[in-house]
Structure 1
């Protein structure tokens, strides 16, 4: 599973990194996006609703989220 580190990155950098990450995986494969900005989390959720993916987010520590994205 590929991990995309977006800690400290502000939009649109995490969106660009996530799009590139999705292009590099095949159906059934996953990526994990790590971010420390809640606005990035919201932007990614809006973006991923337009893709054929399943995703879930988890606040692993206060203020840090991991978004697991699986391509369908």
Structure 2
């Protein structure tokens, strides 16, 4: 299983979504992309996009005050 981390500190949507989509294209089933962000609106948009649009399980963890780590797991059918 592969895992990639994208640093999106200071970046607003849609940049984190576009970067995550690019990384996920190169990954296989059950591989994960982690996005590090400091924008709560980005956190909500990313999770909503990947769970609702693509059906990828996503979770969020606050790793520092005002810093979140979003985990997206690629699931293929």
TM-score (norm 2): 0.85
1:35 corresponds to: 37
- C-alpha displacement of 1:52: 3.0
1:58 is aligned to 2:61 = yes
Q: Deviations over 1:10-46 (max 9, x none)?
A: 1221111111122121101111111000010011022
Count of aligned residue pairs for this structure pair: 72
- Partner of residue 70 from structure 2, selected from 56, 67, 70: 67
Counterpart Cα distance in 2 of 1:16 and 1:69: 13
Gaps of 5+ in 1: none
User: Which structure: greater strand fraction?
Assistant: 1
Gaps of 5+ in 2: none
- C-alpha displacement of 1:66: 0.3
- After TM superposition, which residue ranges in structure 1, 4 or more long, deviate above 4 angstroms? none
TM-score (norm 1): 0.90
* Equivalent position SS for 1:25: coil
